[in-house]
Structure 1
Amino acid sequence: MLNPKQAIVALDFNSYEEANKLTKYLDPEKFRLKIGKQLFSNEGPFILDKFHKEGFEIFLDLKLHDIPNTVYKALKNIYGHGVWMSNIHLLGGKEMINAAQKARLESNKEAFLIGVTILTSLDETQLKLIGFKDKVPQLVKKLASEAKNALLDGVVCSAQEAKELKKTFGKDFVLVTPGIRINSQKGDQSRVTTLKEAINYGSDYLVLGREISKAKDIPQMIKNIESYII
Structure 2
Amino acid sequence: MNKMEPKQRIICALDFKNMDLALNLIKKIETHIQWYKIGMELFTKEGPRAVEIVTKRGGSVFLDLKYHDIPATVEKAIFSAANHGVSLLTVHASGGEKMLEACARARDKIKNPPSILAVTVLTSLGKDSLEKIGIQSSPEEQVLKMGLLAKKCGLNGVVASPMEVSQLRRELGKDMLIVTPGVRLDTESQNDHARVHTPRNAIENGADFIVVGRPIRNAENPEEIAKRYILSIS
TM-score category, normalised to shorter length: over 0.9
Match of 2:86 among 64, 83, 86: 83
Q: Offset of 1:15 from its aligned partner? A: 1.0
Residues 48, 83 of structure 1: 8 Å contact kept: yes
**Stretch of structure 1 that moved more, 177-186 or 14-23:** 177-186
Offset, 1:180: 1.6
Matched AA of 1:133: Q
Q: For the structure 1 residues 229 and 162, does the alpha-carbon distance in structure 2 shift closer, same or farther, using more than 3 Å as the test? A: closer
Give the whole-Å Cα distance in 1 for the aligned partners of 2:229 and 2:115. 24
After superposition, residues 1-230 of structure 1 pair within 5 angstroms as 3-27=6-30, 30-108=33-111, 110-183=113-186, 184-228=188-232
Deviations 1:49-73 (Å, cap 9, x if unpaired)?
Answer: 1111110010000000001111011
Q: CA deviation at 1:205?
A: 0.4
User: What is the CA–CA distance in structure 2 between the aligned matches of 1:73 and 1:132, rounded to whole Å?
Assistant: 29
When residues 28 and 68 of structure 1 are mapped into structure 2, their CA distance, relative to the original with a 3 A threshold, is farther
Cα distance, 1:136 vs structure 2: 1.0
Deviation at 1:150, TM superposition (A): 1.0
Secondary structure of the residue aligned to 1:180 is: coil
Structure-2 separation of matches of 1:185 and 1:199: 20
1:9 Cα deviation from its structure 2 partner: 0.3
What do residues 197-220 of structure 1 show as CA deviations (whole Å, max 9, x unaligned)? 212221110000001011122222
Question: TM-score scaled by structure 1?
Answer: 0.94
Whole-angstrom CA distance in 2 between matches of 1:209 and 1:174: 20
The 1:76/1:150 distance shift into structure 2, 3 A limit, reads: same
CA distance in 1, matches of 2:204, 2:152: 26
Deviation of the 1:169 alpha carbon: 1.2
Percent of aligned positions that are identical: 37
Structure 1 residues without counterparts, runs of 5 or longer: none
Q: Gaps spanning 5+ residues in structure 2: where?
A: none
When the two structures are aligned, how many residues end up with a matched partner?
Answer: 230
Q: Which amino acid aligns with 1:199?
A: I
Contact 1:13 1:19 in 2 (8 A): yes
For residues 202 and 54 of structure 1, the distance between their equivalents in structure 2, rounded to whole angstroms, comes to 30
Measured on the aligned residues, the alpha-carbon RMSD in Å equals 1.7
Q: How far apart in 2 are the matches of 1:52 and 1:27?
A: 12
